[in-house]
Amino acid sequence: MKKTILILVVLFGAAAFSPSSLFAQDESMQKWMDYMTPGDMHKMLAAHTGAWNAKTTFWMAPGGEPTNSEATANGEMIMGGRYLMSKFKGNMMGMPFEGLSIEGYDNATKMFNSSWVDNMGTGIMLMTGKYDETTKQVVYTGKTVDPISGNYVDVRQVVKYNSDGSMLMEMYGPAPDGKEFKTMEITFTKQ
């Protein structure tokens, strides 16, 4: 019995180190390295580090009067240049406002990912999007909780990268009738 077990161990060990097995390990390792290595999309995110001024317009309802405010944002690349973390400070509806976003580009899915938290709620908004080279924008879609109903609702965010280095972010959410409307617009300019 011991002899049979020893023979099986030797056979399995030899199979694990066969040339085809080593090639598969090399190929897997290369895929993992490609997955973890920051690329051009991460460089694009890195261009948005530093201090920014933010001019914000909010709409509480379709066709309603907008509310304007100013804020600041500070972005830094984290985790070895893989993610952009941005901290926001300003005022919203007469109250101090703080927010935090983390954006990244997933080399495997070829998608941008974004998370958002702020002091005006206790949820986390998660979105994914694709970059359009022609329009120089990322269109994110995702879900967030409507605090009134407690249900998840669809949201859409469009981030436009302007040739002058500024950015325009537009946020869309559901109106009471269920149709989408623009809830927010922020213009970011570098300080």
Element (H or E) spanning 164, and its range? none
Q: Is the pTM of this model over 0.85?
A: no
User: Do 98 and 172 fall into the same domain?
Assistant: yes
- Domain match, 181 and 161 both: yes
Q: How many domains does the chain have?
A: 2
pLDDT in the model for residue 131: 96
* 99 residue type, one letter: G
Q: Which residues pair with 4 in a beta bridge?
A: none
Q: Is the same domain home to 185 and 93?
A: yes
The contacts found for 70-73 with CB under 8 angstroms, 24 or more apart, are 71/97, 71/186, 72/191, 73/188
In this structure, what token pair is assigned to residue 50? 């530093």
Residue 176 reports pLDDT greater than 90? no
Q: What is the CATH number of the domain that holds 143?
A: 2.40.128.20
**Tens-place pLDDT, residues 81-122:** 999 999 999 998 789 999 999 999 999 999 999 999 999 999
Whether 14 has a pLDDT exceeding 60, the answer reads no
What is the percentage of the chain residues whose pLDDT exceeds 90? 73
3-state DSSP helix/strand/coil percent for the chain, to nearest 5? Answer: 20, 50, 30
Provide the sign of the torsion angle of the four alpha carbons 169, 70, 84, 128, taken in this order.
negative
For range 65-74, the mean pLDDT: 94
Residue 87 shares a structural domain with residue 6: no
- Does residue 118 sit in the same domain as residue 170? yes
User: Does residue 79 sit in the same domain as residue 166?
Assistant: yes
Q: Decide: 129 and 157 in contact? Cβ < 8 Å.
A: yes
Same domain, 21 and 95: no
CA R_g for the chain = 23
Look at the block and give the residue holding tokens 């060990």. Answer: 13
Asked if residue 59 and residue 30 are part of one domain, the reply reads: no
CA–CA gap between residue 129 and residue 166 (Å, rounded): 20
Residue 101: give the domain boundaries.
Answer: 40-190
